Protein backbone atom coordinates (compact mmCIF):
# COMPACT_ATOMS: atom_id res chain seq x y z
CA UNK A 1 0.00 0.00 0.00
CA UNK A 2 1.41 3.40 -0.96
CA UNK A 3 2.18 6.05 1.62
CA UNK A 4 -0.60 8.49 0.59
CA UNK A 5 -3.10 5.63 0.60
CA UNK A 6 -2.02 4.61 4.13
CA UNK A 7 -2.42 8.19 5.33
CA UNK A 8 -5.84 8.36 3.68
CA UNK A 9 -6.86 5.09 5.36
CA UNK A 10 -5.72 6.34 8.76
CA UNK A 11 -7.63 9.57 8.26
CA UNK A 12 -10.77 7.66 7.27
CA UNK A 13 -10.37 5.38 10.30
CA UNK A 14 -10.18 8.34 12.68
CA UNK A 15 -13.11 10.05 10.94
CA UNK A 16 -15.20 6.86 11.16
CA UNK A 17 -14.46 6.43 14.85
CA UNK A 18 -15.41 10.05 15.55
CA UNK A 19 -18.68 9.56 13.67
CA UNK A 20 -19.43 6.37 15.58
CA UNK A 21 -18.98 8.33 18.78
CA UNK A 22 -21.81 10.62 17.60
CA UNK A 23 -24.17 9.76 20.47
CA UNK A 24 -21.44 10.64 22.95
CA UNK A 25 -20.80 14.02 21.26
CA UNK A 26 -24.56 14.64 21.10
CA UNK A 27 -25.02 13.79 24.77
CA UNK A 28 -22.10 16.01 25.73
CA UNK A 29 -23.49 18.92 23.72
CA UNK A 30 -26.96 18.37 25.24
CA UNK A 31 -25.52 18.32 28.73
CA UNK A 32 -23.55 21.53 28.21
CA UNK A 33 -26.58 23.27 26.67
CA UNK A 34 -28.81 22.16 29.56
CA UNK A 35 -26.30 23.48 32.10
CA UNK A 36 -26.18 26.85 30.33
CA UNK A 37 -29.97 26.93 30.12
CA UNK A 38 -30.48 26.25 33.81
CA UNK A 39 -27.81 28.77 34.82
CA UNK A 40 -29.46 31.42 32.66
CA UNK A 41 -32.88 30.58 34.10
CA UNK A 42 -31.46 30.82 37.61
CA UNK A 43 -30.01 34.27 36.84
CA UNK A 44 -33.38 35.50 35.53
CA UNK A 45 -35.17 34.17 38.60
CA UNK A 46 -38.25 32.75 36.93
CA UNK A 47 -38.53 29.95 34.43
CA UNK A 48 -41.27 30.29 31.89
CA UNK A 49 -42.32 26.86 30.62
CA UNK A 50 -42.39 27.88 26.94
CA UNK A 51 -38.85 29.21 26.98
CA UNK A 52 -37.56 26.28 29.02
CA UNK A 53 -39.19 23.78 26.64
CA UNK A 54 -37.71 25.54 23.60
CA UNK A 55 -34.21 25.49 25.07
CA UNK A 56 -34.45 21.86 26.14
CA UNK A 57 -35.69 20.95 22.65
CA UNK A 58 -32.71 22.77 21.17
CA UNK A 59 -30.36 20.88 23.50
CA UNK A 60 -31.86 17.50 22.61
CA UNK A 61 -31.49 18.19 18.89
CA UNK A 62 -27.73 17.71 19.19
CA UNK A 63 -28.32 14.24 20.64
CA UNK A 64 -30.51 13.35 17.69
CA UNK A 65 -27.87 14.58 15.24
CA UNK A 66 -25.32 12.41 17.05
CA UNK A 67 -27.52 9.36 16.55
CA UNK A 68 -27.88 10.14 12.84
CA UNK A 69 -24.08 10.23 12.48
CA UNK A 70 -23.61 6.62 13.64
CA UNK A 71 -24.65 4.85 10.38
CA UNK A 72 -22.32 7.09 8.40
CA UNK A 73 -19.47 6.29 10.78
CA UNK A 74 -20.13 2.57 10.49
CA UNK A 75 -20.14 2.90 6.70
CA UNK A 76 -16.82 4.75 6.74
CA UNK A 77 -15.28 2.11 9.01
CA UNK A 78 -16.53 -0.75 6.83
CA UNK A 79 -15.16 0.97 3.72
CA UNK A 80 -11.81 1.61 5.44
CA UNK A 81 -11.39 -1.99 6.58
CA UNK A 82 -12.57 -3.41 3.27
CA UNK A 83 -10.20 -1.24 1.26
CA UNK A 84 -7.30 -2.08 3.57
CA UNK A 85 -7.87 -5.80 2.99
CA UNK A 86 -8.19 -5.48 -0.78
CA UNK A 87 -4.71 -5.87 -2.19
CA UNK A 88 -4.31 -4.50 -5.68
CA UNK A 89 -2.83 -6.91 -8.21
CA UNK A 90 0.88 -6.49 -8.87
CA UNK A 91 1.76 -4.31 -11.83
CA UNK A 92 3.65 -6.19 -14.47
CA UNK A 93 6.45 -4.39 -16.21
CA UNK A 94 6.06 -5.09 -19.92
CA UNK A 95 8.84 -2.75 -20.95
CA UNK A 96 11.65 -5.05 -19.83
CA UNK A 97 10.53 -8.36 -21.29
CA UNK A 98 13.27 -10.63 -22.49
CA UNK A 99 12.90 -12.22 -25.84
CA UNK A 100 13.25 -15.98 -26.01
Angle at alpha carbon of residue 66, lines to 31 and 14, rounded to 5°: 110
Domain residues for the domain of 70 are 28-82
For residues 72-85, b (16+ Cβ closer than 10 Å) or e, as one string?
A: ebeebbeebeeeee
Reported as a single tens digit per residue, the pLDDT across 41-86 is 788 777 777 877 888 888 888 888 888 888 888 888 888 877 766 6
Domain membership of residue 17 (yes or no) is no
The reply to whether 3 falls in a domain is no
pTM of the entire structure? 0.60
Q: Is residue 100 part of a domain?
A: no
Task: Give the count of domains, the chain.
Answer: 1
Instruction: Return the percentage of the chain with pLDDT > 70, whole number.
Output: 77
Residue 45 lies in a domain: yes
Bigger pLDDT: 45 vs 11: 11
Amino acid sequence: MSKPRKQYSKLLLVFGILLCLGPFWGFLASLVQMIFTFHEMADIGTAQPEELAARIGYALTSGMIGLVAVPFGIGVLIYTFASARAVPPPIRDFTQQTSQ
